[in-house]
């Protein structure tokens, strides 16, 4: 598939925003239940929630660049009964609204912040499910049609959001920095395991169809010599990424390095040295890796129509 940068930014930005909200709400509930020793200052929760809403809002804006007619964007929600995309379109603004209300609750000292957070938590989880299922429900794309797609969307979002929470806490709530940094390390390691599992699974996949079944000819040797028409088409533009095997290999190892080992080392460095900038750099490196990871996620999906369009000339 051809990766669309609008969708790449959409999924990575809202994932980080969701992960950040989960990190904020988790420490609040942990403090109220006595699991966490001390509650960070309300200012930290307010600024953190506003940051989560800003990331999700930027993701929503990025999604408009994927539309041929942005003025008709409202129609994307019309098929909510059957379309995971329509459900995502509905749930995303609900989540952003909930996060803004959560920020206001802490900013103005409302007692209802746990209740608002719980309702937003439901929207957050629903959004993870909707975003992941947009791709996991496509059975004809074997690389996506797996529970690992949904799991990795959740784990990568939670890991990046918690890393960002550690960066914010380093400046606004030092009491929570260590907890967030250790949680980010754990989540990043679990996310690494999930992403490696999906790469190993996809490497073992074999096409269910063949060139013979694609065109209905049973001859054992079929070779496409030309595209068959003068110019390109939607099929050849949207379902071919156009990257060489060398580029794909470089991006794969690049995202594995930037998303996992580099942030882990920076988080450990921050814990060991107390340098606050290390946490911010860890998030920046991890987010850059997530952009490459999501590009690879889309490019790796091999559309069955590519059995027919094997050569473009």
Query: With bands split at pLDDT 50, 70 and 90, how would you rate the model's confidence at 183?
Result: very high
- Cα–Cα distance measured from residue 142 to residue 161, given in angstroms and rounded to the nearest whole number: 28
With residue 306 as reference, give the H or E element that holds it.
none
Query: What pLDDT does residue 58 have?
Result: 97
Task: Kindly report whether the global pTM for this prediction surpasses the value 0.85.
Answer: yes
Task: Indicate the SS3 state at residue 19.
Answer: helix
Non-local CB neighbours of 7 within 8 Å, separated by 6+ positions:
62, 63, 66, 294, 298
Query: With bands split at pLDDT 50, 70 and 90, how would you rate the model's confidence at 201?
Result: very high
Tokens of 233: 């088409």
In angstroms, the Cα distances linking 147 to 6, 62, 132, 161 are: 24, 26, 9, 21
For the domain made up of 5-307, give the CATH fold.
Answer: Formate dehydrogenase/DMSO reductase fold (1.20.1630)
* Long-range contact pairs involving 236-239 (C-beta distance under 8 Å, separation at least 24): 236/309, 236/312, 237/2, 238/1, 238/2, 239/1, 239/2, 239/303, 239/305, 239/306, 239/309
With residue 34 as reference, give the H or E element that holds it.
none
Tokens of 76: 């994307």
- Cα–Cα distance measured from residue 28 to residue 26, given in angstroms and rounded to the nearest whole number: 5
- Cα–Cα distance measured from residue 48 to residue 39, given in angstroms and rounded to the nearest whole number: 14
Q: Minimum mean pLDDT among 84-98, 113-127, 212-226: which range?
A: 212-226
54-61 average pLDDT score: 96
- Cα–Cα distance measured from residue 205 to residue 139, given in angstroms and rounded to the nearest whole number: 13
- Domain map (residue ranges) of the chain: 5-307
Task: Indicate the SS3 state at residue 100.
Answer: helix
Query: With bands split at pLDDT 50, 70 and 90, how would you rate the model's confidence at 234?
Result: confident
pLDDT above 70: residue 231: no
Query: What pLDDT does residue 212 have?
Result: 79
145-149, 221-225, 304-308, range with greatest mean pLDDT: 145-149
Query: What pLDDT does residue 153 have?
Result: 98
Reported as a single tens digit per residue, the pLDDT across 256-312 is 999 999 999 999 999 999 899 999 999 999 999 999 999 999 999 888 777 766 555
């Amino acid at each position: 598939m051809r990766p669309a940068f609008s969708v790449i930014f959409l999924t990575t930005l809202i994932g980080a925003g969701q992960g950040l909200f989960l990190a904020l709400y988790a420490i609040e509930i942990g403090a109220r239940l006595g699991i966490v020793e001390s509650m960070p200052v309300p200012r930290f929760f307010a600024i953190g929630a506003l940051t989560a809403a800003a990331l999700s809002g930027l993701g929503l804006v990025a999604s408009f660049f994927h539309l041929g007619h942005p003025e008709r964007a409202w129609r994307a929600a019309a098929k909510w009964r059957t379309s995971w995309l329509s459900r995502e379109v509905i749930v995303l603004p609900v989540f952003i609204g909930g996060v803004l209300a959560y920020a206001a609750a802490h900013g103005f000292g409302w007692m209802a912040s746990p209740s608002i957070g719980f309702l937003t938590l439901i929207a957050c989880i629903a959004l993870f499910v909707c975003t992941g299922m947009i791709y996991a429900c496509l059975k004809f794309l074997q690389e996506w049609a797996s529970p690992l797609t949904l799991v990795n969307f959740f784990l990568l979002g939670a890991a990046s959001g918690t890393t960002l929470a550690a960066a914010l806490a380093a400046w606004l709530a030092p009491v929570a920095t260590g907890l967030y940094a250790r949680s980010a390390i754990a989540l990043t390691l679990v996310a690494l395991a999930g992403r490696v599992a999906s790469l190993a699974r996809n490497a073992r996949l074999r096409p269910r169809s063949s060139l013979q079944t694609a065109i209905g000819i049973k001859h054992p040797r079929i070779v496409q010599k030309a595209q068959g028409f003068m110019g390109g088409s939607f099929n050849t533009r949207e379902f071919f990424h156009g990257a060489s095997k060398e580029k794909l290999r470089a991006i794969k190892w690049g995202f594995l390095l930037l998303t996992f080992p580099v942030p882990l080392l920076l988080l450990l460095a921050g814990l060991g040295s107390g340098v606050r900038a290390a946490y911010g750099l860890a998030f920046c490196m991890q987010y850059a890796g997530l952009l490459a990871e999501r590009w690879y996620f889309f490019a790796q999906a091999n559309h069955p129509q590519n059995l027919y369009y094997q050569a473009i000339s």
